[in-house]
């Protein structure tokens, strides 16, 4: 597989040298284009399928890092960053570049960098293929064995607590949760039909099913708690912890500290309506501890309300599944990149560009808005990676349900949503944004124990003559890193 390359370098001689090096490695690399400025490169980047970018840190109109911010570099895009003057190695790797080269570099060093990029791209491709290969294996196994129902088996040392015999066998412990995703995707593609077997809670970070649950202090998170019954004395209505009722003179007897009467019969003269928790770490007393689940595998500690529920099903093969098993059809599962639709910036950019062109021809009002959820990273820290995606997807669904069908929304990153309001002035857009903000705040507060979402909206009219990318950049600049 040859990687499509783009060179972004303001130094002409440096650009030519890189072109030569790419030509010399034409079995691995294909030069698609080269740009002398970051701005020009951005336009090129969005019009072509680029696998690998050779990027000089020192560009005329922006830095290489600003360029990477603009393209929102994902793991699908490999970047080899290089510089002549400064040393940016540390910053480069913080950005997750494939390799960093300090000029002048040797041909051998260049080769090492492109081999690294090729390997990453190959691994990504292989990963995508793996799910399809595994599903095909399972379908063939079911078909040749005439297995009517692929049912899970409860196994103590399995990551999910359950194993799908032919499928989980092909997965290492760390990736056993992929079995659920593969089967779910196969069900969506009508290759299998699922029947409910069990529901279970998995660790949000690593998908392990084995967690231990315990109460923790809402003030310091310590699990070192002491519990004490809360006693309600009926005659005088005094309510307090059991220790208040301990008699100093008569051990074993309980005496009300308010009315000095003896407490004799539970249910008759007193009851125990609740339990008081005392934190041995910070000495706080409280009645409602946080119940947390600590993963036995990765150690992450999550509030039980934030755990995600998964469903374990047994599966039957459909006719389409049989066709795949017999080789009449090939498997192409979709849906492994759960946020591809939510974060489809290229589509948003394209529609925005069309709107700009439309504004040049007619006297219309189109508005673009941004809402940044400033404190969402705090919530992400607690919920774990898989739930971050669920939360972003849920927010996206709420937004799309509450904007007119002619309008468009997209997540620019995990904490920033952009909305395009066609044929609406800023006033109309503002009222829609305000409405959405209220709904989202309520949604988050309801689901995360009153968590108060801090939103930062910005609403601008779309200007004719501007480029879509410029408008997006202005709206999203100084965004927070997640």
Partner 1 sequence: MGIPQPSGCNGNEKHLFIMNNTVQTLKYEELTFLRVSDRYPFHLDQIKPFDGVVIEFTEKKSSMELVKNIRSHNQQSVYLTPLFLYRLYGEPDKLIARLVDGTTSNLGDLKPIADITRKIKSRM
Candidate list 85, 145, 251, 265; residue touching partner 1; CB under 8 A: 145
Give the x/- contact pattern for partner 1 in 150-189, rule: CB under 8 A: ---x-x-------x-xx--xx-------------------
Give CA angle at 416 (415, 422), nearest 5°: 155
209 or 403: whose CB is closer to partner 1?
209
Kindly state the smallest distance separating residue 170's Cβ from partner 1, in Å.
4
Candidate list 23, 115, 125, 144; residue touching partner 1; CB under 8 A: 144
The DSSP annotation for 354-395 comes to: HHHHHHHHS----EEEEEEETTHHHHHHHH-HHHHHHHHHHH
Strands 308-317 and 192-202: antiparallel
Question: What's the sign of the alpha-carbon dihedral 143, 144, 148, 153?
Answer: negative
Is 448 a residue that touches partner 1 (CB under 8 A)?
no
Single out the segment in contact with partner 1 by CB under 8 A; choices: 133-141, 193-201, 359-367, 445-453.
133-141
Placement of tokens 């934030």 in the chain: 306
Is 141 a residue that touches partner 1 (CB under 8 A)?
yes
Is 137 a residue that touches partner 1 (CB under 8 A)?
yes
- What's the CA gap between 477 and 468, in Å, rounded? 14
Give the x/- contact pattern for partner 1 in 273-302, rule: CB under 8 A: ------------------------------
Is 146 a residue that touches partner 1 (CB under 8 A)?
yes
Kindly state the smallest distance separating residue 169's Cβ from partner 1, in Å.
5
In angstroms, the Cα distances linking 50 to 53, 78, 111, 443, 473 are 7, 9, 19, 38, 21
- What's the CA gap between 138 and 140, in Å, rounded? 5
Kindly state the smallest distance separating residue 143's Cβ from partner 1, in Å.
6
- What's the CA gap between 40 and 67, in Å, rounded? 11
Give CA angle at 185 (180, 188), nearest 5°: 130
271 or 322: whose CB is closer to partner 1?
322
Kindly state the smallest distance separating residue 336's Cβ from partner 1, in Å.
20
134 or 432: whose CB is closer to partner 1?
134
Structure tokens at 358: 């439309």
Candidate list 46, 143, 201, 451; residue touching partner 1; CB under 8 A: 143
Residue 455, strand partner residues: 373
Single out the segment in contact with partner 1 by CB under 8 A; choices: 62-70, 108-116, 134-142, 275-283.
134-142
46 or 141: whose CB is closer to partner 1?
141
Contacts to partner 1 from residues 74-93, by CB under 8 A: none
Number of H helices, E strands in the chain: 13, 22
Number of residues that bind partner 1 (CB under 8 A): 15
174 or 250: whose CB is closer to partner 1?
174
- What's the CA gap between 395 and 91, in Å, rounded? 32
In angstroms, the Cα distances linking 272 to 105, 181, 276, 308 are 76, 47, 10, 34
46 or 143: whose CB is closer to partner 1?
143
HEC secondary structure over 68-125: HHHHCCCCCCEEEEEECCCCCHHHHHHCCCCEEEECCCCHHHHHHHHHHHHHHHHHHH
Placement of tokens 């440096």 in the chain: 14
Single out the segment in contact with partner 1 by CB under 8 A; choices: 67-75, 139-147, 404-412, 462-470.
139-147
Kindly state the smallest distance separating residue 297's Cβ from partner 1, in Å.
20
Single out the segment in contact with partner 1 by CB under 8 A; choices: 12-20, 136-144, 181-189, 462-470.
136-144
Binding site for partner 1 (CB under 8 A): 133, 137, 140-141, 143-146, 153, 155, 163, 165-166, 169-170
């Amino acid at each position: 597989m040859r990687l499509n390359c783009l060179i972004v370098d303001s130094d002409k001689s440096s650009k030519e040298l890189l072109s030569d090096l790419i030509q010399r490695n034409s079995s691995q690399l294909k030069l698609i284009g080269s740009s002398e400025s970051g701005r020009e490169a951005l336009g090129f980047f969005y019009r072509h399928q680029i696998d690998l970018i050779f990027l000089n840190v020192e560009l005329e109109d922006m830095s290489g890092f600003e360029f990477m911010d603009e393209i929102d570099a994902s793991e699908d895009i490999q970047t080899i960053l290089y510089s002549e003057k400064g040393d940016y190695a540390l910053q480069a790797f913080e950005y997750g570049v494939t390799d960093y080269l300090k000029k002048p570099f040797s041909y051998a060093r260049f080769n090492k960098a492109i081999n690294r990029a090729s390997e990453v791209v190959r691994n990504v491709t292989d990963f995508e293929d793996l799910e399809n290969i595994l599903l095909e294996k399972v379908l063939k196994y079911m078909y040749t064995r005439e297995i009517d129902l692929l049912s899970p088996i409860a196994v103590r040392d399995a990551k999910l607590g359950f194993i799908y015999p032919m499928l989980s066998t092909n997965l290492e412990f760390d990736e056993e949760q992929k079995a659920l995703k593969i089967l779910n995707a196969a069900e969506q593609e009508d290759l299998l039909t699922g029947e409910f077997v069990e529901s279970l809670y998995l660790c949000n970070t690593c998908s392990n099913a084995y967690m231990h649950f315990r109460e923790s202090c809402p003030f310091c998170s310590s699990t070192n708690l002491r519990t004490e019954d809360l006693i309600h004395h009926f005659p005088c209505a005094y309510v307090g912890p059991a220790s208040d009722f301990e008699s100093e003179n008569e051990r074993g007897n309980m005496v009300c500290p308010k009315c000095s009467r003896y407490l004799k019969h539970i249910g008759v003269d007193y009851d125990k309506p609740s339990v008081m928790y005392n934190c041995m770490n910070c000495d706080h007393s409280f009645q409602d501890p946080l119940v947390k689940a600590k993963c036995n595998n990765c150690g992450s500690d999550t509030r039980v309300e934030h755990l995600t529920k998964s469903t374990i099903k047994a599966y039957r093969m459909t006719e389409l599944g049989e066709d795949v098993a017999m080789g009449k059809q090939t498997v192409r599962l979709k849906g492994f990149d759960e946020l591809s639709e939510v974060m489809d910036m290229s589509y948003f950019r394209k529609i925005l560009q069309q709107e700009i062109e439309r504004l040049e021809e007619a006297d219309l009002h189109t508005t673009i808005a941004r809402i940044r959820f400033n404190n969402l990273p705090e919530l992400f820290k607690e919920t774990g990676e898989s739930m971050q995606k669920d939360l972003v997807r849920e927010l996206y669904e709420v937004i799309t349900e509450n904007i007119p069908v002619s309008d468009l929304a997209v997540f620019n990153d995990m904490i920033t949503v952009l909305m395009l309001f066609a044929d609406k002035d800023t006033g109309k857009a503002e009222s829609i944004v305000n409405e959405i903000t209220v709904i989202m705040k309520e949604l988050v507060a309801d689901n995360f124990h009153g968590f108060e979402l801090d939103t930062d909206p910005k609403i601008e009219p779309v200007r004719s003559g501007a480029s879509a990318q410029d408008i997006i950049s202005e709206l999203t600049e100084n965004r927070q890193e997640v």
